[in-house]
Chains A and B, each alone.
Chain A
């Protein structure tokens, strides 16, 4: 921070980007010194991926300057960014699956010799370059991607969750290579794993609500401060619930509605074990890609578990199709409405689809009965159905209400909500949470994954935290403030002193940063 412009390898300042009404980035900045490994951090939706896309030319910012080696650059495509010395390894491998590795290299004009050298440094010297990319496991593809990026010899290497899909031994190799970069090259390192950041990074820039809220020198014990920066000011709860009676009742001798015992798929989910009781809303918190998607797919009958047992009402079940789950009242509400709705069809058809498709015989639909059910659901959920002839003309919030309404109309017993309020305005969000509370009060068991941590206390009775495919923590929602959840989600060993002590200890150091960016005034923004 004492460095002048000329000392910096890369400087991005005043970068903003809005998507319609959604502010993804507001005056974010990033300064990377030559030779350093610099972490870019932020909670889900803080603007990290938008920032990465802007740096690599995939997205054009509304405002902002990007200076590399003292010269202002503007990149309009990843190829542009590469010419400007910025190369990135994205979260998803950027290889063409139907070409072999050699052709993939040719496609990006990557020199072969340095590629081979980096490959053996990374522990994959035995890789046959004539293998079709689609035949390689995901972990090897990540390594190939990384070796290719290094072979191009960039000024700035941008690694977005490079270690997420890697086994431990490869992770170690990658971290070693990242650390060993010379003084000419800087690395921007994005990871959800604080331990890795502590191990390899020199400094960290923290984003929150699309703004840069602080730059931290990474030293022993700085993890807590980074967590604190990611959180920002503890946001006052939107409306405190008083129905702790419901909270207490869920375990009073009742049998659990759903018991998951050591559920695993072969990839991300490992031995997930938990219980869900009738009448409770059980929150699920996890960083991206910790196996929560797979867990919900298994519970909803869209995927079959590789191992483990699932009991519903104390009976073991094995779903072969979502219809099997729906038949026993276990239903799925997706974050992505496009995954749940027939966009060109009417509200009526969308609501009635599950209960008309549910019965296995191809009978007549009783239109009168169907109509009454649909009307009742529309009224319960206060769906604004003026544009009812085509669901795609409804607002996102109303669309999500339709997906919930259909299950209410078809008699739900267990509702699996996967980030149901993603991209929905605050008013509708509250309506949806009130609705979930009402459903729970009526005896429905609700499993709620949300990427917005502050909503856990609003809507849930209890919360479980998933990390690395396992349930690593369980706590009552009352004690689950954002700090506790974020720590648990990063699988930090409970230091017991959070949050008050840390807040007190860091507030002095934080003061200059906080005054500079004025947290709390920024609207709660979500990346589209």
Chain B
């Protein structure tokens, strides 16, 4: 085996090479993790009260956005984009909160959660079907459905309200045993792992990358391009439903007005997380780290009492700066 594999797979030849290969393939994410560490240290400096306990509140507040970024990453990897994610979140969150108020009981809540996830699949399927069948550009289709889902959310719940089952709230608030481990982080990692790992190791996973990387080559290789594109929106809808549920869980209610910044931040996090907007490159771990980075930057600005308007400007510049630095390093590396 080893003799056969030498030319192809260095990762089997020695552990050092394994590390090196891993580092090369995940350089962007590792760099981003380094940036996160620096940022955490900076946070501790500007806000000495920031402690391990604060970590779990950061995690809880970042959870919906993290799911949104993962949802966006999946569709962007396959060469598409979904602008309707935030109103999908609003709709699923409102449906969950309203039904849980009308049908109290833990067992009922489990059924409702399952139903809402099904709703997410349905919303994604509608997006995907429209993109594939009408050939209207994805950006236009999902901008339109953004308004449709937002309208439905207001029909379900004209004003914020409803409630969430206690177990659902407990799932995402506070630390799990030791302070270093926020529950929200565990929920996030478990759910993303359950969705992403089977996906990335299945034929659908490699097909997602294929249609994002080169639709013509994928077609020539026998990949059903339209079906794969459709399914990318379905999976995105599912993850967006998790994002909506986590909104309900962390706030205890459903709010019918979609937060427009969720879409923009999810796209920002996807790009910052090393996913190419042209498709075909990246994963979901990078965007997850990027969401935490963006959240920490915002928190630090609040601590430092920066005028929120300047804060927005600063956030934009930081995003551009990090991306430019990253691209510059990658360019140097590919030349070498």
The B9-52 residues at the A interface (CB cut-off 8 A) are 9, 21, 24-25
Chain B, residue nearest A393 (CB): B334
Interface string of A413-436 (1 = CB under 8 A from B): 000000000000000000000000
Which residues of B sit under 8 angstroms from A341, Cβ to Cβ?
Answer: 214, 217
- Per the bound structure, the CA–CA distance linking A344 and B334 in Å amounts to 12
On whether the beta carbons of B222 and A338 are closer than 8 Å, the reply is no
* Stretch of B107-115, B199-207, B256-264 that contacts chain A: B199-207
- Per the bound structure, the CA–CA distance linking A372 and B9 in Å amounts to 11
On whether the beta carbons of A302 and B219 are closer than 8 Å, the reply is yes
On whether the beta carbons of B4 and A342 are closer than 8 Å, the reply is no
Chain A, residue nearest B334 (CB): A393
B316 beta carbon closer than 8 Å to chain A: no
On whether the beta carbons of B220 and A364 are closer than 8 Å, the reply is no
The A315-332 residues at the B interface (CB cut-off 8 A) are 321-323, 325-327, 332
Which residues of A sit under 8 angstroms from B209, Cβ to Cβ?
Answer: 342, 345, 349
Most buried by A among B5, B25, B206, B280: B206
Q: Is the interface of B mostly helix, strand, loop or mixed?
A: helix
The smallest beta-carbon distance between A163 and chain B, in angstroms, is: 30
Interface string of A332-369 (1 = CB under 8 A from B): 10100011111111011100111011110111110100
B221 beta carbon closer than 8 Å to chain A: yes
Most buried by A among B203, B204, B222: B222
On whether the beta carbons of A323 and B203 are closer than 8 Å, the reply is no
B7 beta carbon closer than 8 Å to chain A: yes
On whether the beta carbons of A362 and B220 are closer than 8 Å, the reply is no
Interface string of B277-317 (1 = CB under 8 A from A): 00011000000000000000000000000000000000000
Chain B, residue nearest A355 (CB): B222
* Stretch of A19-27, A139-147, A380-388 that contacts chain B: A380-388
The B201-246 residues at the A interface (CB cut-off 8 A) are 201-204, 206-207, 209-210, 213-214, 216-224
On whether the beta carbons of A340 and B217 are closer than 8 Å, the reply is yes
On whether the beta carbons of B210 and A357 are closer than 8 Å, the reply is yes
On whether the beta carbons of A389 and B222 are closer than 8 Å, the reply is no
B133 beta carbon closer than 8 Å to chain A: no
B325 beta carbon closer than 8 Å to chain A: no
On whether the beta carbons of B222 and A322 are closer than 8 Å, the reply is yes
- Per the bound structure, the CA–CA distance linking A322 and B213 in Å amounts to 18
Query: Of B21, B207, B216, which one neighbours A389 at CB under 8 angstroms?
Result: B21
B194 beta carbon closer than 8 Å to chain A: no
**Contact flag A356-B7 (CB < 8 Å), given A322-B221, A339-B216, A343-B213:** no
On whether the beta carbons of B221 and A354 are closer than 8 Å, the reply is yes
- Per the bound structure, the CA–CA distance linking A323 and B224 in Å amounts to 7
The smallest beta-carbon distance between A1 and chain B, in angstroms, is: 48
On whether the beta carbons of A379 and B7 are closer than 8 Å, the reply is yes
The smallest beta-carbon distance between B13 and chain A, in angstroms, is: 12
A378 beta carbon closer than 8 Å to chain B: yes
Q: Using a Cβ–Cβ cut-off of 8 Å, how many residues does chain A contribute to the interface with B?
A: 49
Which residues of A sit under 8 angstroms from B4, Cβ to Cβ?
Answer: 372, 375-376, 379
A300 beta carbon closer than 8 Å to chain B: yes
B8 beta carbon closer than 8 Å to chain A: yes
Chain A, residue nearest B279 (CB): A344
**Contact flag A357-B8 (CB < 8 Å), given A323-B224, A341-B214, A344-B280:** no
Most buried by A among B9, B25, B220, B281: B220
Interface string of A279-290 (1 = CB under 8 A from B): 000000000000
Which residues of B sit under 8 angstroms from A385, Cβ to Cβ?
Answer: 7-8
Which residues of A sit under 8 angstroms from B216, Cβ to Cβ?
Answer: 339
Which residues of B sit under 8 angstroms from A359, Cβ to Cβ?
Answer: 203
Query: Of A334, A356, A384, which one neighbours B203 at CB under 8 angstroms?
Result: A356
On whether the beta carbons of A378 and B8 are closer than 8 Å, the reply is yes
On whether the beta carbons of A354 and B7 are closer than 8 Å, the reply is no
Which residues of A sit under 8 angstroms from B334, Cβ to Cβ?
Answer: 393
On whether the beta carbons of A363 and B203 are closer than 8 Å, the reply is yes
Which residues of A sit under 8 angstroms from B5, Cβ to Cβ?
Answer: 371, 375
The smallest beta-carbon distance between B294 and chain A, in angstroms, is: 25
The smallest beta-carbon distance between B273 and chain A, in angstroms, is: 16
- Per the bound structure, the CA–CA distance linking A365 and B209 in Å amounts to 15
On whether the beta carbons of B222 and A349 are closer than 8 Å, the reply is no
Query: Of B7, B203, B213, which one neighbours A383 at CB under 8 angstroms?
Result: B7
On whether the beta carbons of A342 and B210 are closer than 8 Å, the reply is yes
On whether the beta carbons of B220 and A345 are closer than 8 Å, the reply is no
On whether the beta carbons of A353 and B214 are closer than 8 Å, the reply is no
Which residues of B sit under 8 angstroms from A354, Cβ to Cβ?
Answer: 221-222
Chain A, residue nearest B5 (CB): A375
The smallest beta-carbon distance between B1 and chain A, in angstroms, is: 8
On whether the beta carbons of B281 and A344 are closer than 8 Å, the reply is yes
- Per the bound structure, the CA–CA distance linking A327 and B224 in Å amounts to 13
A374 beta carbon closer than 8 Å to chain B: yes
- Per the bound structure, the CA–CA distance linking A353 and B206 in Å amounts to 7
- Per the bound structure, the CA–CA distance linking A321 and B220 in Å amounts to 9
On whether the beta carbons of A332 and B7 are closer than 8 Å, the reply is no
Most buried by B among A321, A363, A372: A321
On whether the beta carbons of B207 and A357 are closer than 8 Å, the reply is yes
The A10-63 residues at the B interface (CB cut-off 8 A) are none
Query: Of A326, A342, A374, which one neighbours B8 at CB under 8 angstroms?
Result: A374
The smallest beta-carbon distance between B161 and chain A, in angstroms, is: 40
Which residues of B sit under 8 angstroms from A406, Cβ to Cβ?
Answer: 221
- Per the bound structure, the CA–CA distance linking A303 and B199 in Å amounts to 31
Which residues of B sit under 8 angstroms from A371, Cβ to Cβ?
Answer: 5, 9
Which residues of B sit under 8 angstroms from A332, Cβ to Cβ?
Answer: 220
Chain B, residue nearest A346 (CB): B25
On whether the beta carbons of A362 and B7 are closer than 8 Å, the reply is no
- Per the bound structure, the CA–CA distance linking A343 and B278 in Å amounts to 13
On whether the beta carbons of A362 and B221 are closer than 8 Å, the reply is no
On whether the beta carbons of B203 and A342 are closer than 8 Å, the reply is no
Which residues of A sit under 8 angstroms from B218, Cβ to Cβ?
Answer: 342, 353, 357
- Per the bound structure, the CA–CA distance linking A119 and B151 in Å amounts to 57
Which residues of A sit under 8 angstroms from B221, Cβ to Cβ?
Answer: 322, 326, 340, 353-354, 357, 406
- Beyond contacts A353-B210, A367-B201, A374-B8: 10 other A-B pairs, Cβ-Cβ < 8 A, are A322-B219, A322-B220, A322-B221, A339-B217, A342-B218, A357-B223, A362-B204, A371-B5, A375-B8, A386-B7
Q: B-side interface residues toward A, CB under 8 Å?
A: 4-5, 7-9, 21, 24-25, 198, 201-204, 206-207, 209-210, 213-214, 216-224, 276, 280-281, 334
21 A-B residue contacts at CB 8 Å? Answer: A321-B222, A322-B220, A322-B222, A342-B214, A344-B276, A345-B210, A347-B8, A353-B206, A353-B210, A357-B203, A357-B223, A359-B203, A362-B203, A364-B198, A367-B201, A371-B9, A376-B4, A378-B7, A379-B7, A385-B8, A388-B8
* Shortest Cβ-Cβ A-B pairs, 4 listed: A323-B222, A342-B213, A326-B222, A357-B223
